[in-house]
Amino acid sequence: MSEGPPLENFLAEAKGFLDSNANARGESRFVWGEGSDRVGVLEEKSPDQERAEIDEAKIWKAKEFDAGFGWITGPTEYGGRALPSNFERSYQALAAKYSTPSTTPFGISLGMVAPTILAHGIVDVREQYLESMYRGDVIGCQLFSEPIAGSDLAGIQTRAIRDGDEWRLTGQKVWTSNAQYSDVGEIITRTSPDKPKHKGLTMFLVDMRAPGVEIRPLRQMTGGASFNEVFFEDVRVPDSHRLGDVDEGWTVALTTLMNERAAIGGGGAGVGTMSMTRFLEMARYYGVDGDPLIRQALADVYIRMSVSGYTNQRAMAKIRSGQLPGPEMSIAKLALTQNMQKVAQLVSDILGPRLVADSGDWGAYAFGEFVLGVPGMRVAGGTDEVMRNIVGERVLGLPKEPKPLS
């Protein structure tokens, strides 16, 4: 990690970049009934909207990268600036004061796939992908889950068979978020079916446009189709695109999963970005702010959001001090989804039938998208039950869950 410029010089440079390329946001205070009332959890866009937003996001990401703010902590040999993580945090805090395109399309790509390439890819692959991923030119997705393997990820069946300097991949993935616009995918495959299930897996980076890859959208109950089934029929992948050693894919998967829980639990989704004022104003607007049960539920949500905010800060401090995100992230992810569920219950109690029948009221029917999206968040990135097992066994040191007899 380089010494770099003093933080104040760096921030002056960042301010210069943001002033010239984005508009500063005014003082933004939540006012009931003003602005957009969208509070969805999953992406709900038409293909045209999605394309336009990605194009805009890519233009922004490239500008940011070219100005030296796209991968502040990354190694210089792959286009980063090798500055300490407080520079990254300071930049993000400053950038949040400006109106810039959403970088959601890069969430999985940069939150999970790129860190795994950096940790496990060979130099050629890091050179080929990291800079273009952080610049937003290339987007990556995560091809882990299969119809019969989700929580029990080591049970996946997609086969990879060696063929000279290449591998041939055949099988099916499911629930692949963003596959519809991804250029590459991090795919876990079975290479040695005769070995114990955790030991016969190998990870690759696959070209999502290679012959034999077929992507089919899955429509979710909120209306949109942000994830997909992906079929692989004899898809060729060069051996250089292997991440980690042959049959060591489980270790590589753990790198991705830890980063995934950090990305989800770290407040990137849902209630993490919603203010308590919204719920208070909603209760006032519908005249239930004096109802003791609603008041109790409001206080409960406030306490839970505060506690998980502090837990996140503790976990993030661990990451900042150079340690790997660990089981704390399972607590953060679990806390986030529990809070989302509490919020969904609270707004359902306040709104009643307005949640499901559009009364035209600002902020009422719109919450349906949030309430219907919460179950998905309780499953994505490790289900609540699996998170509880991890917290019980690895954080609290409780006896291991008994394995079913086979």
Ligand X SMILES: Cc1cc2nc3c(=O)[nH]c(=O)nc-3n(C[C@H](O)[C@H](O)[C@H](O)COP(=O)(O)OP(=O)(O)OC[C@H]3O[C@@H](n4cnc5c(N)ncnc54)[C@H](O)[C@@H]3O)c2cc1C
Residue 218 interacting with ligand X (CB under 6 A): no
145 near ligand X, judged by CB under 6 A: yes
Query: Least separation, in Å, of the C-beta of 384 and ligand X?
Result: 6
On the 0-12 / 13-18 / 19+ scale of CB atoms within 10 A, 104 is: middle
Query: Of the two residues 170 and 240, which places its CB atom closer to ligand X in the complex?
Result: 170
Compute the least distance from the CB of residue 150 to ligand X, in Å.
Answer: 2
Binder of ligand X out of 379, 392, 393, 394 (CB under 6 A): 379
Residue 227 interacting with ligand X (CB under 6 A): yes
Nearer to ligand X, 108 or 372 (CB): 108
Q: Return the bridge partners of 187, or none.
A: 143, 204
Residue with tokens 């970005």: 273
Torsion of CA 309, 315, 317, 323, to 10 degrees: -170
- The answer to whether residues 344 and 310 touch, using CB atoms and an 8 Å cutoff, is no
Q: Does 254 bind ligand X (CB under 6 A)?
A: no
- Which one among 5, 75, 326, 376 touches ligand X, defined by CB under 6 A? 376
DSSP characters over 224-282: ---EEEEEEEEEEEEGGGEESSTTBHHHHHHHHHHHHHHHIIIIISGGGG--HHHHHHH
How near is the Cβ of 9 to ligand X at its closest, in Å? 39
**Burial of residue 35 (number of CB atoms within 10 Å: 0-12, 13-18, 19+):** exposed
How far is Cα 296 from Cα 124, in angstroms, rounded to an integer? Answer: 57
116 lies in the site for ligand X, by CB under 6 A = no
Residue 240 makes contact with ligand X by CB under 6 A: no
Please calculate the CA angle 287-292-293 and round it to the nearest 5 degrees: 95
C-alpha–C-alpha distance, residues 253 and 315, integer Å: 20
Helix (H, G, I), strand (E, B) or coil at 25: coil
**Is residue 102 part of the contact set for ligand X (CB under 6 A)?**
no
Least distance (Å) between residue 180 CB and ligand X = 11
Q: Please identify which residue in 144, 204, 367, 370 interacts with ligand X, judged by CB under 6 A.
A: 144
How near is the Cβ of 191 to ligand X at its closest, in Å? 18
Q: Which stretch binds ligand X (CB under 6 A): 125-133, 137-145, 203-211, 333-341?
A: 137-145
Query: Coil, strand or helix: which one is 161?
Result: strand
Give the H/E segment covering residue 288: none
How far apart are CB 206 and ligand X at their closest, in Å? 13
Closest residue to ligand X, based on beta-carbon distance: 150
β-strands 140-143, 184-190 pairing: parallel
Residue with smaller CB distance to ligand X, 179 or 282: 179
Is residue 386 at the binding interface for ligand X, with CB under 6 A as the rule?
yes
Beta bridge partners of 170: 159
Given 282, 343, 351, 380, the residue binding ligand X (CB under 6 A) = 380
Min separation Cβ 197 and ligand X, Å: 14
Q: Is 134 in the site for ligand X (CB under 6 A)?
A: no
Does 385 participate in binding ligand X (rule CB under 6 A)?
Answer: yes
Residues near ligand X (CB under 6 A), total: 20
Q: Shortest approach of ligand X to residue 153 CB, angstroms?
A: 7
Minimum distance between the CB of residue 336 and ligand X, rounded to whole angstroms? 13
- Shorter beta-carbon distance to ligand X: residue 143 or 305: 143
* CA-based nearest residue to 141, from 78, 188, 94, 102: 188
Q: Are 62 and 131 in contact (CB under 8 A)?
A: no
What is the rounded distance in angstroms from the CA atom of residue 145 to the CA atom of residue 189?
Answer: 11
**Using the rule CB under 6 A, is 142 a contact of ligand X?**
yes
Chain residues 154-183 in contact with ligand X, contact rule CB under 6 A: 175-177
Tell me which residues touch ligand X (CB under 6 A): 42, 108, 141-145, 150-151, 175-177, 227, 376, 379-380, 383, 385-386, 389
